[in-house]
């Protein structure tokens, strides 16, 4: 099984900012969330390997599993370019509209959803055989996780705008004859506040 885990909360998350490639540590709540989500996943069955985005918030969440952490750059968060660190509410509405309507839209200095989707789907395809035979945890971010879910469902990255993932949430993807099947979505462990 492929077990996708979103990182715990950071100060930027708490402040309602677009984080993207800003490389922040988990905050106190985020550390608690990382411990709780690792316990939830490990309590459900054996974990054979842990892979993480290179960003600190993902690496720190991955370390809570107590296993060696492999790093895969393809699971890094979307780059929001000049909007990184900007509060969601302060991003101009035309920018949000561009992102929603055009997957190839690239904010100044950033990355398009189409490019993110291409790299995440390639990473998921590379894990099919391995995750068909063992339990692989991938600790990543909200946009790559939504891309992986879209890959499993056979739909496009547009689902990013019609689904929600909490911090330290889990999505499980099973495999049948090499084909991905979304098994669970947005599982969370109780840890107190998650905003």
pLDDT in tens, 93-127: 999 999 999 999 999 999 999 999 999 999 999 99
Q: Is 139 helix (H, G, I), strand (E, B) or coil?
A: strand
Alpha helices (runs of H) in the chain, residue ranges in sequence order: 11-14, 28-44, 56-63, 93-101, 113-133, 142-153
Span 152-182, pLDDT tens digits: 999 999 999 999 999 999 999 999 998 999 9
Q: What is the mean pLDDT of the chain?
A: 95
Residue 195 has pLDDT above 90, yes or no: no
Residue 3 has pLDDT above 70, yes or no: yes
Phi, psi of 115 (to 5 degrees): -65, -45
pLDDT of residue 95: 94
């Amino acid at each position: 099984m492929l077990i996708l885990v979103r990182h715990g909360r950071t100060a930027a998350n708490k402040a309602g900012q677009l984080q993207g490639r800003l490389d922040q540590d988990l905050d106190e709540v985020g550390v608690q969330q990382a411990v709780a989500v690792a316990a939830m996943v490990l309590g459900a069955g054996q974990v054979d390997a842990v892979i993480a985005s290179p960003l600190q918030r993902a690496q720190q969440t991955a370390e809570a599993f107590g296993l060696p952490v492999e790093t895969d750059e393809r699971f890094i968060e979307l780059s929001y370019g000049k909007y990184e660190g900007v509060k969601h509410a302060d991003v101009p509405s035309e920018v949000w509209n561009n992102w929603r309507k055009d997957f190839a839209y690239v904010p100044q200095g950033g990355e398009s959803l189409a490019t993110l989707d291409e790299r995440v789907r390639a990473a998921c395809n590379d894990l099919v055989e391995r995750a068909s035979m063992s339990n692989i945890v991938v600790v990543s971010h909200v946009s790559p996780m939504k891309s992986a879910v879209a890959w499993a469902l056979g739909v496009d990255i547009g689902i990013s705008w019609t689904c929600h993932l909490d911090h330290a949430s889990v999505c499980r993807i099973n495999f049948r004859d090499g084909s991905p099947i979304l098994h669970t979505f947005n599982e969370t462990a109780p840890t107190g506040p998650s905003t």
